[in-house]
Chain A
Amino acid sequence: MCTTCGCHTGKARINGKSISHHQHSDKPMYYQLVDSSRSHPHAAMPAAQLPNTFYFGTNTTDTHDPAMDQTKMIKIERDILVKNNQYAAKNRHYFMKHGIFVLNMVSSPGSGKTSLLIKTIQMLCDKLPIAVIEGDQQTDHDAARIRATGVPAIQINTGKGCHLNAHMVNHAIQQLPLEDDSLLFIENVGNLVCPSAFDLGEAHKVVVLSVTEGEDKPLKYPDMFHAADLMLLNKCDLLPHLTFDTDLAIEYAQRIHPEIPVIQLSATQGNGISAWLDWIKTGHHSAVLKKQSLLHNNITLD
């Protein structure tokens, strides 16, 4: 099984097509076949770090006969997500080299991520190139909504998967027309738990909380609010009709992540959008400057 994308099941798809593992670049991940029933054309590569080996019964003062016991201890000492993180690093290098500012949008389902992206694209698309990667378990509805704004979008269907991973994003960016100095939104699967653990190579995770949810979402799902660098409080135009306590929600978020900035906005009515756009422009400007600085100093990331 390709455990990063789960493609043994044939469920993970990009724009409706199964992910092919021969589009990997010069440094493929080292997948292994598990058994013949899972035969799958991944290239086998040696592990990057050779584990130290400790053999039981090799001590000369020990009367134990090593030939009688083949058990040995192997040091691994590797992060469980090492492979995802290698892809994330590769994606991040690519983005840095091309001055692309990447935001990983995370939230529970129904917080208004796609509507917010559409509004954001409408306000920014005449100022800078934008592209979108959409993640959902099924359908390409969201990518179709984004494409209707005129910007390129690619849909990743995760099948049974509950989050995007860096490998899927690596495939998607090979298929997207991505311009230098552009803005890339990755709309993650609606899920406030799992996407927090998976680095995609983004500059920032942005968590969207809508006021139709509970104020205590940050306390209930602390990992996501800890991992995010910005919280957007969406659907604020509905506040007069709700009992949602904005100050309490912000206090809870800042209890998990003390310095997290919060922008209150409404994707449908446009309130507060300008603060969000300013935040994006600042980050985008930094990404472009970083690329220029790398070029100027002849620093290559390859």
Chain B
Amino acid sequence: MHEISLAENILQLIEDASLEQSFTQVKTVWLEIGQLACVEQESLRFYFNVVTQDSIAQQARLEIIEIAGQAICNQCNREIFVASYYEACPHCGNSALQVIQGNGMRIKEMEVE
């Protein structure tokens, strides 16, 4: 349920940008959400619609670009794709992995007018 906090943080970043860039309406917001990030996308979409009511992002469409989880195996040093934290290396079976991509969440860009 922390997705409501995330949605509010997104709106705040949008409003900060609106003062800098002098736009009055947001048409589309592109987010990059890592596959391993602690975010439930449908929940985030729901809360984004709730918190943006009566704001400049009221009509905004939310586009989520999913960033694949990637890790380096501590044993065989290969780069692998992982969809969750409890996956083992498909090459050597080792579960000690170092995540290198896919655990973040950020606003990438917006289409505004």
Contacts and interface: CB of A to CB of B under 8 A. Distances in A.
A223 to B, nearest CB: 4
A62 interface: no
A32 B110 contact: no
Interface string B34-61: 0001110000000000010011000000
A64 B51 CA distance: 35
A223 B40 CA distance: 12
B13 A161 contact: no
Contacts of B113: 70-72
A272 to B, nearest CB: 25
B77 interface: no
A113 B84 CA distance: 28
B19 A80 contact: no
A76 B1 CA distance: 25
Contacts of A222: 84-86
Interface in A48-76: 50-51, 53, 70-76
B96 interface: yes
B82 to A, nearest CB: 11
B65 interface: no
A3 B107 contact: no
A80 B105 contact: yes
B99 to A, nearest CB: 8
Contacts of B96: 258-259
A85 to B, nearest CB: 10
A80 B13 contact: yes
B111 A163 contact: no
B55 A34 contact: yes
B87 to A, nearest CB: 9
Contacts of A225: 85
Nearest to B30: A76
Interface stretch (A16-24, A178-186, A189-197): A189-197
A219 interface: yes
Interface string B94-113: 01110000001111111111
A34 B15 contact: yes
A165 interface: yes
Interface of B: 1-2, 5-6, 8-13, 15-21, 23, 27, 31, 37-39, 51, 54-55, 74, 84-86, 88, 95-97, 104-113
Interface of A: 1, 3-4, 6, 30-32, 34-35, 37, 44, 46-47, 50-51, 53, 70-84, 161-163, 165, 193-194, 196-198, 219, 222-223, 225-226, 252, 254-259
7 contacts: A4-B5, A35-B55, A47-B16, A71-B111, A72-B112, A73-B109, A79-B105
